[in-house]
Amino acid sequence: MVERQKQQKPFEEPPYNGILCIDKPRSYTSFDVIARMRGILKVKRLGHAGTLDPMATGVLPILVGRATRACDILPDQEKAYRASFQLGLTSDTQDIWGKVTAREGVPKIAQSHLEVVLDGFRGQIQQLPPMYSALQVGGQRLYDLARQGIEVEREKRSVEITRLQLLEFSAEQQRGVIEVQCSKGTYIRTLCHDIGQALGCGAVMTALRRIQAAGFSEKDCVTLEQLERLVKDGRMEDYLHPVGEAFAPLAPVWLDTSRTRMFLNGVPLDLRKIRWPDVQGRGTVRVMGSDGSFLGTGELDREAGVLRAQKIFVGR
């Protein structure tokens, strides 16, 4: 009797797992990218690392298959952006796509003055989250309230600007470009707005491109159109990064064969019997198997003397 061949399900899980870096196009939301990739890859399990506004472009890491387990624990939370700004304007969204609320005309800010003001935005700074943001207050998104004309009180948050460089500035047009490296949760349009306030003339962001996220940069990215061609040519896996790459900043713990099996079964491991880094107290580490492969992340508890599994990326 000939066994009838099983028909493949439309979204059957593929034999690959990892991270695909997409160069997000303008006017797409991060979820739009996910939806299109589901159609391209025929994969249901997809997630993204770091939302980008629709008008922004650039690095959007997409987690595929088991890599989606890493969405909330990626260790490298710093991001980098290239943003354009226009002095002399203020808008309700703090960017050029919102409603202009103040127009100062063309101010006369010298580059030397701008450089002095920028210095005050380096390091730890306080930001007031904009009303047009996805933050929730009382169970409602701020942007939903803002669209109803409702403004609510928000608390300032501490963010870190590790690098802020003026790349271009036109004194005649009062336009410029900055490059920013910052902590998670930093609003670049708010940064542009606050710089404008400090200059006394207002400012709006006119373009935004993310150039680094989760340890990946522009050189790691492909466009959605390129991805379609790669899938068609059977070369997509050439651009699929192992999920372990994203955890390279974490200190490694190396396991032998027996303890590799124990870790994958969720068994706490005695620190006296494994090689572990000099981490004080508790800490998250990347766990490497006996064959040198990345198994997942673990919680190193020096006080209790054990390593506990945190997230496992091997197996379903």
Q: Residue 258's domain is classified under what CATH number?
A: 2.30.130.10
Determine the length of the chain: 316
Based on the fold, state whether residues 101 and 201 are members of the same structural domain: yes
Based on the fold, state whether residues 209 and 220 are members of the same structural domain: no
243 near 133, Cβ under 8 Å?
no
Three-state SS for 33?
helix
Q: Which phi-psi region, left, alpha or beta, contains residue 191 (left: φ > 0; alpha: ψ -120 to 50)?
A: alpha
- Per-residue pLDDT reduced to its tens digit, 2-43: 333 444 444 444 557 899 999 999 999 999 999 999 999 998
Based on the fold, state whether residues 62 and 120 are members of the same structural domain: no
Q: What are phi and psi of 24, to 5 degrees?
A: -65, 130
For residue 35, being part of any structural domain is answered with: yes
Query: What are the CA-CA distances from residue 90 to residues 96, 167, 195 (Å)?
Result: 9, 22, 11
Based on the fold, state whether residues 152 and 207 are members of the same structural domain: yes
135 vs 126, more confident: 126
How would you label 249-266 residue by residue, b for 16+ Cβ within 10 Å and e otherwise?
A: ebeebebeeebbebbbee
DSSP state letters, 46-69: EEESS---TT-EEEEEEEEGGGGG
For residue 5, being part of any structural domain is answered with: no
- The residue out of 225, 242, 259 marking a domain boundary is 242
For residue 2, being part of any structural domain is answered with: no
For residue 302, being part of any structural domain is answered with: yes
Based on the fold, state whether residues 85 and 147 are members of the same structural domain: yes
- Going through the chain in order, the beta strands assigned E by DSSP cover 18-24, 46-48, 57-64, 79-87, 89-91, 100-103, 123-127, 136-137, 140-141, 157-170, 175-182, 203-213, 216-217, 221-222, 252-254, 269-270, 282-288, 294-301, 306-312
Based on the fold, state whether residues 57 and 96 are members of the same structural domain: no
20 token code pair: 């695909």
How far apart CA 190 and CA 308 sit, in angstroms, is 40
pLDDT band at 241 (very low <50, low <70, confident <90, very high): very high
* Per-residue model confidence (pLDDT) at position 316: 56
Based on the fold, state whether residues 106 and 149 are members of the same structural domain: yes
Which residue range is the domain that position 178 belongs to?
Answer: 79-213
* Per-residue model confidence (pLDDT) at position 15: 58
* Per-residue model confidence (pLDDT) at position 280: 59
Task: Quote the mean pLDDT of the chain.
Answer: 89
pTM above 0.75, yes or no: yes
For residue 6, being part of any structural domain is answered with: no
Based on the fold, state whether residues 225 and 257 are members of the same structural domain: no
* Per-residue model confidence (pLDDT) at position 3: 37
Based on the fold, state whether residues 220 and 208 are members of the same structural domain: no
* Per-residue model confidence (pLDDT) at position 13: 47
- Per-residue pLDDT reduced to its tens digit, 127-184: 998 867 777 777 777 677 667 777 777 889 999 999 999 999 999 999 999 999 999 9
Has residue 77 got a pLDDT over 90? Answer: no
Q: Which phi-psi region, left, alpha or beta, contains residue 116 (left: φ > 0; alpha: ψ -120 to 50)?
A: alpha
Based on the fold, state whether residues 171 and 95 are members of the same structural domain: yes
How far apart CA 47 and CA 66 sit, in angstroms, is 10
Based on the fold, state whether residues 206 and 220 are members of the same structural domain: no
How far apart CA 269 and CA 263 sit, in angstroms, is 7
% residues pLDDT > 90 (the chain): 69
Query: What are the CA-CA distances from residue 146 to residues 90, 152, 172, 197, 308 (Å)?
Result: 16, 9, 34, 21, 44
Has residue 289 got a pLDDT over 60? Answer: yes
Stretch 251-273: mean pLDDT: 93
Q: Residue 100's domain is classified under what CATH number?
A: 3.30.2350.10
Count of domains in the chain? 3
% residues pLDDT > 70 (the chain): 91
DSSP state letters, 122-166: SEEEEE---SSSS-EETTEEHHHHHHTT-------EEEEEEEEEE
For residue 88, being part of any structural domain is answered with: yes
How far apart CA 146 and CA 133 sit, in angstroms, is 9
For residue 7, being part of any structural domain is answered with: no
pLDDT band at 191 (very low <50, low <70, confident <90, very high): very high
Based on the fold, state whether residues 97 and 189 are members of the same structural domain: yes
User: Active-site residue numbers?
Assistant: 53
30 near 51, Cβ under 8 Å?
yes
Stretch 285-306: mean pLDDT: 92
